[in-house]
Amino acid sequence: MLLIIFNFMKRGQSEQFNWVFVLVAGAIILGFFVMFVFKYQDLQQKKLSVNVGKILDENIKLLETTELYLDDKEFDLGLRVKIDFYCQDQENFFEINDYFEQKLKNIVLFSDANYVTDSFDAWITSWNPGFFVANFVYLINPNKVIYLYYTQNDIELLNTLDFPEEILNFKKVNNINIDVEDKKDVVILFLTPVQSVNSLKSDNVKLRGIDSQRKEIIFYEDQQKRSKYIGNEMIYGAVFSENYDMFECAKANVFNRLKKVAKLYSLKASFLNRVITKVECDYNQISSELNRLSQYEGEDIEEIMASIIEQNNELGGRGCAVVF
């Protein structure tokens, strides 16, 4: 009798052990399967991010080399993604879905910082303060609305601003009590400085101003900040930049390029001075001014540029080879 009971207990323990083994093995297999699914999803997400990054980079390069602007149908990313832009050490970077990061090489970009989108509007202009320095690329949310506030004193400036109305939603207003559209990405550009903008401040509204007398762009942020500008191209850059810091980073990139180009032209002027022996073709002064520009650390460069342009034109007028 005891033997029968013992055998029964032994068989029960064996069956219990088998069930425990099955449960443990099943949990391991299930865990492996879940881990595989997550790893696969993570891999697919990274592949998608890389593909979108390539499309973004290729479209920007296409824009820089061949087009004036691209609308959201032409600048289609293929799927809706999270894109973050930032500027660091005078270089522009973007990151897709917090996975894929890339530097935009040799690009001067003015853009908002954060997007969740499947397309962009994009526009390009050349910055030429006397000689060509760089192309400016502007990336734009297709839903962005731009208000241009002006007074009668601003008509001349208003007429010089050449935003591409084919891809932008413009509203020209001369009433300071602007009723902005809710839930829209809005920029208000004041063509004349204003004292009070607090009533217009909100999370979806960026406020910019132009002080044309001082050649400064005003950023109405937590604290009012000002930045020198040269040419309307920089005004456009301020309109499409996320904030003062991103604008300043892009502008530092531009001024660094300006100094490099000035240095090359200074070397060219020195070379011309050696090979052209006509007395009336003296390149010493323009070479010196270009070299000065290549080392200049301030923002007030328009006076130097004006002198260089005048000297270059005079050389051409005397029948000499021009520097640029």
Residue with tokens 């506030």: 149
Residues 6+ apart with CB under 8 A from 139: 60, 85, 109, 110, 111, 112, 120, 121, 122, 240
Indicate whether 113 belongs to any domain.
no
pLDDT for the residue numbered 300: 82
Nearest to 112 by CA among 254, 238, 253, 255: 238
Q: Would you state the pLDDT for residue 37?
A: 45
- The answer to whether position 78 is within a domain reads no
What is the predicted pLDDT for the residue at 188? Answer: 93
Tokens representing 164?
A: 């591409």
Mean pLDDT on 1-21: 53
Residue range 66-90, pLDDT digits in tens = 778 899 999 999 889 999 999 988 8
Q: Which of 219, 231, 210 is nearest to 153 (CA)?
A: 210
Give the model's confidence band at 129: pLDDT under 50 very low, under 70 low, under 90 confident, else very high: very high
For residues 61 and 94, the answer to whether their CB atoms sit within 8 Å is: no
Structural domain including 281 reads 255-317
Residues 134-192: tens digit of each pLDDT: 999 999 999 899 999 999 999 999 999 999 888 888 889 888 777 776 667 899 999 99
Residue 107 lies in a domain: no
10 Å CB burial of residue 27 (0-12, 13-18, 19+) is exposed
* Max CA separation in the chain (angstroms): 131
- What domain count does the chain have? 1
pLDDT at res. 183: 60
Handedness of CA 48, 50, 51, 55 (dihedral sign): positive
Assess whether pLDDT exceeds 60 at residue 42: no
Cβ contacts of residue 163 below 8 Å, gap of 6+? 146, 170, 236
Alpha carbon distance 116, 286 (integer Å): 49
Question: Has residue 280 been placed in a domain?
Answer: yes
Q: How confident is the model at residue 312 (pLDDT cuts 50, 70, 90)?
A: very high
Assess contact for 206 and 238: CB atoms under 8 A: no
Compute the distance between CA of residue 184 and CA of residue 277 in angstroms, rounded to an integer: 63
Whether 36 has a pLDDT exceeding 50, the answer reads no
Residue 287 inside a domain? The answer is yes
Whether residue 282 lies inside any domain: the answer is yes
On the CB side of 171, how many CA atoms lie within 13 Å of its CA? 15
Distance (Å, rounded) from C-alpha 238 to C-alpha 257? 19
Distance CA 197, CA 177 (A): 10
Identify the top-confidence range among 47-56, 180-189, 200-209, 249-258: 249-258
β-pair type (108-110, 134-140) = parallel
pTM for the whole thing? 0.83
Residue 301 lies in a domain: yes
**Which residues 6+ apart lie within 8 Å of 238 measured at CB?**
110, 208, 217, 219, 227, 229, 247
- Helix, strand, or coil here: 303? helix
Q: Does some domain include residue 270?
A: yes
Please compute the mean of the pLDDT values over residues 229-244 and round it to a whole number. Answer: 96
Is the pLDDT assigned to residue 7 strictly greater than 70? Answer: no
Residues 273-301 have pLDDT tens digits of 999 989 999 999 999 999 999 999 887 89
Average pLDDT, the chain: 86
Q: Kindly state the average pLDDT of the residues 25-30.
A: 62
